[in-house]
Amino acid sequence: MTKQSLDDIIWLLWKGFDELAEELWHSPEGAKEVVNLAIISSSSKAMAALSPDEEKLPVINATETQKLALEKIVQHLRRGTYDKMAKRLEKTNDIDVDMSDIVRYPQWPLLFFAFYNETNDSELMDLVLAAKPDMSVVDSNWRNILMKAITHSTSYTRDNIITLLSTMKKMFNAWINIMQTDNDWKTVLDIIRERCYWSCLRDDNLVMIYDLIRVYTDTYWPTRKQIYTKKVVEELKKSRLTEMRDFWDIIEKTWNVNELNAAWDTLLSTLILEKKYDLIKNLCWAWADPIKPFNGGNWMISPISYLENERWDEEKKVHALLVKQAENIKRLHIAAELMEQYQLYSEDADRMIRAFDIDARDLKTWLTPFMKIVMNWNMALIKALELTNPNTGAVDENWFSALMIAAWTWKMDLVECVLAVWSPADIEIKNFQFLTAQEMAKKLWYIDIAERIDKFARDWESDNDIPF
C-alpha cells in the first residue's frame, strides 16, 4: 500500500471498512489499520500533491498496450520538434490531455492535432488511435474527429475520397459514435450527403459517394452482440483490477468476449471466480459461452456447474441467467441446422455459427438471417428464429427493417410473425424515403397492415404505461 498513488488512497477512503475487508482480504479492523498505515506513510506525497505552489496534472493508469503506444507517440513527437507536447504526454500518461496552451486548436487533444498537423502525419494518427483516445471529443461546432475529416476538404476528388475512406475505416475500428450530431443536429451521413454528394455528381464520381455510404452503413448497423461487447469493454476500462483491465486489451482486438487470458480463462469465468457479477448480464447479450470450462486449474468445471450448488440469492440469479444463456445458444445451433437444409440459407447458417451471433449479417446485402427469411416468406424458419430473439432493428441497404419487408409483401401472417419478436423502438425506424413501416404501408394502400402495426404499437404503450 505504501507505494500506491494518492488516487488509490482517496479511492480507499470512499469505501466503508466492511467493503474494504472484502477488497483487501482483511477483517474490518484490519482494513482500517491498512488505510491508516497508507495515509501516514504517504502523507508527505499527499501534501506535495495538494500544494498550490506547483500545478499537478492527473496521471492516468494506462494498460500495457496504451503504454507502448504512448511511448511511441512521445518518440514520434520529439522527432518532429514537438517537445512540449511530448513532455506533457510523458508527464500525464494521458492521450486525452488538454494541449490548448501548446497548439493553436482550442481544447483539442492529440487526436485532433494528429489529423490536422501541417505534415499530414498518418503515422501519428495510427499511433494516437492505438492509444485508445476519447473518440467523443468535439470542436466548437460539436463536430467529432470523423465529422471534421469529412468537412476538412473543399473538393472531393477520387484520391481525396480514397484517403477519406481509409480514415473512416480506422475511426470506425476505434468505435467512434457515428450517430453523434453537431450543433446543426447533423450526423456523419447528413454531412456526407450535404458536402460530398453534389461534388461527386459534378465530377462523375457517384460510385465513390456510394462507397462512402456503404462503409458508413456497415458500421451504423452493428449487431446487438457488438453493441453489448462494446459496453463490456467500456466497463472493463474503468476497473481497478489488473486482470479485468487485461481483458479490455484481449477482447478489443477481436471483439470476442470468449477470448482466453494468459491463465486460459474467459472473462465470464474470471468474473465468477472473483465474485464480480455486475457485467454478466451484458456478457450474455454479447454471447458469452457459459459452458466453456475454466482452464486455470478447473478445466472440467463450467461457469454453470460452478454456481450450481451455491446457496446465496445473487449466485442463484446469475446461475439462472447462465442456464437461460445456454438454452439460447442451443436454439442458435438448432436454427442453424434447420437453415442448412436450404441452400439459400447455408452461408447464413455458417456465418451465424462462426460469428456466434444470431444477427450476423451478409455484408453484400446487409441482410440478417431473420430479414432474409422474412423476405422469402419461409414461415417454418421464421418460427424457429423467433425463439432465438433476433434483432428486428437491423436494416438492409435501403434501410428497410424486417417489419418493412413484411409489410411490403402485403401478407398479414408474415407481419404477425415479425411483430411477435418486434421491439417498440423499431416502429420509429425510417427507410431512405424517410418513411416508417406504418407510413410505407399507408402509401402502398395496405391499410389493414398499417392499422395492425398502429394497433400493436398502441397496445404496447397501453400495457407498459406508467400510472403516474
pLDDT of residue 54: 38
Q: How confident is the model at residue 299 (pLDDT cuts 50, 70, 90)?
A: low
Distance of alpha carbon 247 from alpha carbon 236, whole angstroms: 7
Average confidence score pLDDT of the chain:
75
SS3 (DSSP) at 367:
strand
Distance of alpha carbon 382 from alpha carbon 405, whole angstroms: 13
Q: Is the confidence at residue 57, as pLDDT, over 60? A: no
Distance of alpha carbon 4 from alpha carbon 6, whole angstroms: 7
Identity of the amino acid at 71: E
Contacts of 132 (CB under 8 A, 6+ apart): 65, 66, 69, 95, 174, 252
- The whole-model pTM stands at 0.54
Instruction: Estimate the crossing angle of helix 447-463 against helix 412-420, to 10 degrees.
Output: 20
72-85 in b/e form (b: 16+ CB < 10 A) is bbbebbeeeebeeb
Positions of E strands within 252-363: none
pLDDT, tens only, 398-423: 677 888 888 888 888 788 778 777 66
Grid cell for residue 337: 441446422
Q: What residue ranges do the domains of the chain occupy?
A: 6-50, 64-220, 224-327, 342-463
Q: Is the confidence at residue 258, as pLDDT, over 80? A: yes
Across residues 48-73, what is the average pLDDT?
A: 61
CATH number of 64-220: 1.25.40
Grid cell for residue 136: 467523443
Cβ 182 vs Cβ 190: under 8 Å: no
Cβ 161 vs Cβ 212: under 8 Å: yes
C-beta atoms surrounding 301 within 10 Å:
14
Q: Do domains 64-220 and 342-463 have the same CATH topology?
A: yes
Distance of alpha carbon 75 from alpha carbon 59, whole angstroms: 19
Domain 342-463 has CATH 1.25.40.20: yes
